[in-house]
Amino acid sequence: MASRKILVLGSGGREHALALRLLASPSVREVIVVPGNAGTARPPASLSEKVLRNASGSPLDVARAERPDLVVIGPEQPLCDGLADALAAEGHLVFGPSRAAARLEGSKAFMKEFATRHGIPTARHVVVSQPSELDAALATFSAPPVVKADGLCAGKGVLVAPDHESARRAALAMLSGESFGDAGRTVVLEERIEGQEASIHAICDGERYVLLPAAQDHKRIFDGDAGPNTGGMGTYAPAPLVTEALARVIEERIVRPTFRGMAAEGTPFRGTLFAGLMITSAGEPMLLEFNVRFGDPETQVLMETLDGDFAEALVGAARGALAPDAVVASNRHALCVVVAASGYPGTPRTGDVITGLEEAEAVPGVRVYHAGTRLEGGRVLTAGGRVLGVTASASALDVAHERAYAAVARLRFEGMQFRRDIGTRALTSPRA
Ligand code: AMP
Ligand code: GLY
């Protein structure tokens, strides 16, 4: 029976995708997004019998007023700040890890030490917290190391250094607080690993877990993986790079020991764990980072690859009673092209009118997820760096690719930029 009311916290493309997938779940009647964007302000025509709306105010106040059946926390910052604990203390059912479990993303030093304690394959690292320790630490790396700020830096706290001197300068600027304030006062240096990246998501109830299909992101702003890193410019799933055999290895070496280790250390993980992996040329998975929430724009494609009552899965995980068949993989392939504002990943241009949204969604299998958008006088305006996530699904990846780009071609706003090579590698490499 469609009776559940769910609160989703966040305002990105990830939250729009989660909101629509939850709204489509048979058990859900209403989804409220705080603060949301232009896309989450009303339900799509296909779900017009249900309620989708935005609300403003602090998450705790909105939860007190609305008494939802479940609260889903989208971004990492509130999780690392302990919002799941605060909501749970007021009696709300929450999907998202505790502050203690969120350290897997909130502190890279914690994550690296945890991985080392539990034998999880990851690059060799050294933690540095004093400038006086830096030169000795750098000298232990024969090749230039990757430099990472310990705390949350909105995806900007990592430098894949070209040489030791750049690594040294970046680390010093972090340690002094100049680059990222307190988030950089501890630094992790680690060995650089070569290979192809994959995004693995698993939903866990503290003990039991289910894996979602593998996805691939495109982090750099320009075609051919050139230019600076972004939050993610496009994704596809399932990623043929991760064969069934490799998925089993990832589960055994990385996912299972992480959930077991967290439970054994008294901080069981409830929520979505997103492991950023490097698959080496030898086919070995190495852990680069953990995120304690769904990826953005991974979620936009993952939601297309799942069947069944997704809300039931999240409620089950939040209650500590995840059913083994809670998540059903569909046979669909999905591809998402992020359309960003000019200036992104630096300061984006905002306030431009977006046209062609309906025409884009008229392409079969296409959904345009909103991220940095807002409504003004019935028009949709740009309001952030990543503006839209144009997502297509189909029975094959090449068809999803064609549909997504056909939809992007119908969209217009001043200065829009997007990558033209999302998914190209999977389309041109031999199918797994
Ligand atoms: P992170 O925020 O830790 O995911 O790092 C951002 C990006 O930096 C990753 O997606 C990789 O492209 C790159 N990166 C991080 N750690 C390494 C590493 N040890 N070797 C090579 N590239 C890395
Ligand atoms: N797409 C990468 C992330 O969500 O962190």
Given this model, what pLDDT does residue 432 score? Answer: 43
Domain identity same for 94 and 9? yes
Given this model, what pLDDT does residue 431 score? Answer: 46
User: What percentage of the chain's residues is helix, strand, coil (to nearest 5)?
Assistant: 30, 30, 40
3-class DSSP state for residue 338? strand
What's the 132 CA to ligand 2 centre distance in angstroms? 33
Q: Which atom of ligand 2 is nearest to the CA of 293?
A: 4
What's the 49 CA to ligand 2 centre distance in angstroms? 32
- Identify whether 16 is part of a domain: yes
- Residue 289 Cβ < 6 Å to ligand 1: yes
Domain identity same for 19 and 93? yes
| Residue that is written with structure tokens 């030791």 in the block | 164
Residue nearest to atom 6 of ligand 1 (CA): 158
d(CA 195, CA 96): 30
Helix runs in 52-194, H state only: 59-66, 76-80, 83-89, 103-106, 108-117, 131-139, 164-175
What's the 140 CA to ligand 2 centre distance in angstroms? 30
Out of 143, 161, 190, pick the residue that ends a domain: 190
- Identify whether 285 is part of a domain: no
- Residue 288 Cβ < 6 Å to ligand 1: yes
> Mutual orientation of helices 108-117 and 256-264 as an angle, nearest 10°?
100
The token pair that represents 418 in the structure block: 């997007």
- Identify whether 167 is part of a domain: yes
HEC profile of 201-252 = EEEEECCCEEECCCEEECCEEEHHHEEEECCCCEEEECCCCCCHHHHHHHHH
- Identify whether 261 is part of a domain: no
Domain identity same for 82 and 130? no
Given this model, what pLDDT does residue 1 score? Answer: 65
d(CA 14, CA 303): 10
Domain identity same for 93 and 129? no
What's the burial of 142, exposed, middle or buried (CB within 10 Å: 0-12/13-18/19+)? exposed
Taking the alpha carbons at both ends of the chain, their separation in whole angstroms is 40
Strand order in the sheet with 94-95: 51-54, 28-35, 4-10, 70-73, 94-95
Domain identity same for 34 and 93? yes
- Identify whether 380 is part of a domain: no
In the chain, how many domains are there? 2
Out of 165, 190, 215, pick the residue that ends a domain: 190
What's the 136 CA to ligand 2 centre distance in angstroms? 32
Q: Which atom of ligand 1 is nearest to the CA of 194?
A: 21
Domain identity same for 40 and 84? yes
What's the 291 CA to ligand 2 centre distance in angstroms? 8
CB 272 within 8 A of CB 306: no
Q: Please name which of 105, 388, 360 lies closest in space to residue 233, comparing C-alpha atoms.
A: 388
Buried b (16+ CB within 10 A) or exposed e, 101-135: bbbbbbbbbbbbebbeebebbbbebbbbeeeeebe
Its pTM stands at 0.96
Question: Which residues line ligand 2 at a C-beta cut-off of 6 Å?
Answer: 217, 231-232, 291, 295-296, 298
Given this model, what pLDDT does residue 429 score? Answer: 59
The token pair that represents 361 in the structure block: 């969604």
| CATH code assigned at 18 | 3.40.50.20
Ligand minimally distant from the alpha carbon of residue 159: 1
pLDDT, one tens digit for every residue, the chain (432 residues): 679 999 999 999 999 999 999 999 999 999 999 999 999 999 999 999 999 999 999 999 999 999 999 999 999 999 999 999 999 999 999 999 999 999 999 999 999 999 999 999 999 999 999 999 999 999 999 999 999 999 999 878 999 999 999 999 999 999 999 999 999 999 999 999 999 999 999 999 999 999 999 999 999 999 999 998 899 999 999 999 999 999 999 999 999 999 999 999 999 999 999 999 999 999 999 999 999 999 999 999 999 999 989 999 999 999 999 998 888 899 999 999 999 999 999 999 999 999 999 999 999 999 999 999 999 999 999 999 999 999 999 999 999 999 999 999 999 999 999 999 999 988 875 544
Domain of 133 in residue numbering reads as: 125-190
- Identify whether 57 is part of a domain: yes
- Identify whether 90 is part of a domain: yes
Domain identity same for 91 and 151? no
Domain identity same for 11 and 94? yes
Out of 190, 208, 232, pick the residue that ends a domain: 190
- Identify whether 60 is part of a domain: yes
Ligand minimally distant from the alpha carbon of residue 277: 1
| CATH code assigned at 150 | 3.30.1490.20
What's the 103 CA to ligand 1 centre distance in angstroms? 18
